[in-house]
């Protein structure tokens, strides 16, 4: 390739612009307006006006499926709350934690402590009387909690702590921190704290200790899924700021909304689809974003989502899926559970992992079938009983790409199979 000073970038800059600012088309963007969430905004605002009066805010559980605007609404209102508190000279602090990332009692207490300390450090010159920063490991949990109490009571204030994906704490067995936080006001003299829990799982409360539910579940707000018309409104508003004028062909917004409405009214999926359609149009140097670009974007997203799902599988499930892949690449006409178990056992021995029972592997095959990664059909072999005939439901190259990042893949012929029989 001949080097040209800035040539490739100059050529790209001269192309017709598809995007004005694609950040408006990302789910992480917090808009100035939240269409079709007036009821939830007003309900939460009535709860969170308490800190502006110097009162303790009620604890709140917020429920709703993914992409229904829960996190965006909370962040929007928290920004408004901090802004108004500043105008009124009220000491109101908000803190956001994602429990998918910060998922243990220690890390939650340490992260909260360090966030509060960081705010105090920014506000004053002399910080010699502040407790030290908490490391992410190494301290006794009681000491971390005492550190948090000292920082919280350093001055008179109201603080709201938002725990997004709060149900992760239940699934990971660390929900005891919720009881601690729900009772923290009894250990504070100057500060008042409220807790906000956001969850995609409407039923996770049933797994909580009743004491936690009693303390935390003072208020509950449910976010229903968006319908197609509501999603259209959201996309129209975002596209006006995100895309260049006149580049969206008629029918594009409608098609993106219809796709997402079928997926439980998920606004995130609608935005991802519209943005990806625009990016495909940009790559093609097209003048407009068309419905064909939406169709191509939908296929790309499904492909990427399936690869992500495969990558997140437990190692044992990956080995079962890999066994199906190797057998199918061998062009086995009928892949039975016995063949899969034979290859799976060899893979386990190769990687030094425990070999699960046939029954458990059959269960993993059923789980992969439910995910749509494979098709598993039960067939009768007469007096020999029943078995499952299995085939991949995704591109083999996609499986290889997702699995081989963590597991070394050999050809079937190189595996030390324990039975001397022809597979395929």
State the distance between the two ends of the chain, measured CA to CA, in whole angstroms: 47
pLDDT at 116 over 90: yes
Residue 69 assigned to a binding site: yes
Sheet of 335-336: strands edge to edge? 335-336, 386-392, 374-380
Q: Is 194 among the annotated ligand-binding positions?
A: no
Helices 315-329 and 396-403: angle between axes, nearest 10 degrees: 140
Round to whole Å and give the CA distance between 289 and 161. Answer: 41
Q: How confident is the model at residue 256 (pLDDT cuts 50, 70, 90)?
A: very high
pLDDT at 416 over 80: no
Q: In the prediction, which pLDDT does 232 show?
A: 96
pLDDT for position 172 = 78
The full set of domains in the chain, from first to last, is: 37-222 (3.40.50.300), 228-310 (1.10.8.60), 314-414 (1.10.10.10)
Mean pLDDT of the chain: 87
pLDDT (0 to 100) of residue 216:
77
Could you give the 3-state DSSP secondary structure of residue 341? helix
3-state secondary structure of 221: strand
Four-CA torsion 242, 245, 248, 250, nearest 10 degrees? 130
Is the predicted pLDDT of residue 384 greater than 70, yes or no? no
pLDDT in tens, 258-284: 999 987 789 999 999 999 999 999 999
Does the annotation list 56 as a binding residue? no
46 among annotated binding-site residues? no
pLDDT of the residue at 5: 55
pLDDT, position 8: 65
**What pLDDT sits at residue 309?**
83
Higher pLDDT, 102 or 215: 102
How much is the pLDDT for 420? 42
Half-sphere exposure of 333 (CA within 13 A, CB side): 1
For 57, 95, 181, 221, the CA distances from 82, given in Å and listed in that order, are 14, 11, 22, 21
CA distance 331 to 179: 56
Contact 52, 81 (CB under 8 A): yes
In tens, the pLDDT along 125-167 reads 777 888 889 998 899 999 999 999 999 999 999 999 999 999 8
What pLDDT is recorded for position 189? 94
Q: Report the DSSP beta bridge partners of residue 92.
A: 158
Arithmetic mean of pLDDT, 332-353? 86
The answer to whether 71 is a known ligand-binding residue is yes
Residue 302 has pLDDT above 90, yes or no: no
Sequence-separated (6 or more) residues with CB below 8 Å from residue 340? 320, 323, 324, 327, 361, 365, 390
Q: How confident is the model at residue 393 (pLDDT cuts 50, 70, 90)?
A: confident
> Is 226 labelled as part of a ligand binding site?
yes
- Give residue 212's pLDDT: 81
C-alpha span between 307 and 292 (Å, rounded): 23
């Amino acid at each position: 390739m001949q080097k040209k000073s800035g040539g490739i970038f100059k050529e790209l800059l001269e192309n017709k612009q598809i995007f004005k600012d694609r950040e408006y088309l990302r789910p992480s963007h917090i808009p100035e307006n939240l269409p079709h969430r007036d009821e939830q905004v007003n309900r939460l605002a009535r709860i969170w006006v308490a800190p502006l009066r110097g009162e303790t805010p009620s604890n709140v559980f917020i429920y709703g499926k993914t992409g229904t605007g829960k996190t965006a609404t909370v962040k929007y209102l928290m920004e408004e709350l901090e802004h108004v508190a500043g105008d009124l000279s009220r000491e109101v602090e908000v803190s956001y934690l994602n429990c998918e990332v910060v998922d243990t009692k220690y890390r939650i207490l340490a992260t909260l402590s360090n966030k509060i300390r960081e705010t105090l450090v920014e506000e004053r010159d002399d910080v010699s009387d502040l407790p030290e920063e908490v490391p992410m490991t190494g301290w006794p949990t009681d000491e971390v909690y005492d550190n948090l109490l000292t920082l919280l009571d350093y001055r008179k204030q109201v603080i709201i702590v938002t725990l997004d994906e709060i149900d992760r704490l239940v699934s990971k067995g660390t929900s005891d921190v919720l009881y601690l936080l729900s009772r923290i006001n009894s250990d504070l003299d100057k500060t008042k704290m409220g807790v906000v829990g956001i969850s995609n799982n409407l039923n996770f409360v049933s797994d909580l200790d009743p004491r936690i539910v009693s303390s935390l579940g003072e208020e509950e707000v449910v976010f229903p899924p968006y319908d197609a018309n509501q999603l259209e409104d959201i996309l129209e508003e975002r596209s006006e700021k995100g895309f260049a004028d006149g580049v969206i062909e008629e029918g594009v917004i409608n098609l993106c909304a219809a796709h997402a409405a079928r997926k439980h009214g998920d606004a995130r999926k609608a935005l991802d689809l519209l943005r990806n359609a625009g990016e495909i149009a940009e790559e093609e140097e097209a003048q407009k974003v068309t419905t064909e670009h939406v169709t191509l974007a939908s296929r790309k997203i499904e492909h990427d989502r399936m690869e992500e799902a495969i990558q997140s599988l437990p190692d044992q499930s990956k080995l079962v899926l890999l066994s199906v892949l190797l057998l199918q690449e061998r062009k086995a006409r009928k892949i039975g559970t016995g063949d899969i178990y034979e290859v799976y056992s060899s893979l386990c021995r190769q990687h030094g992992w425990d070999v699960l029972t046939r029954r458990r592997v059959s269960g993993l095959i059923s789980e992969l079938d439910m995910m749509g990664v494979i098709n598993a059909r039960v067939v009768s072999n007469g007096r020999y009983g029943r078995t499952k005939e299995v085939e991949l439901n995704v591109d083999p190259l996609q499986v290889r790409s997702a699995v081989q990042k963590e597991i070394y893949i050999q050809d079937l012929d190189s595996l030390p199979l324990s039975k001397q029989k022809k597979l395929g």
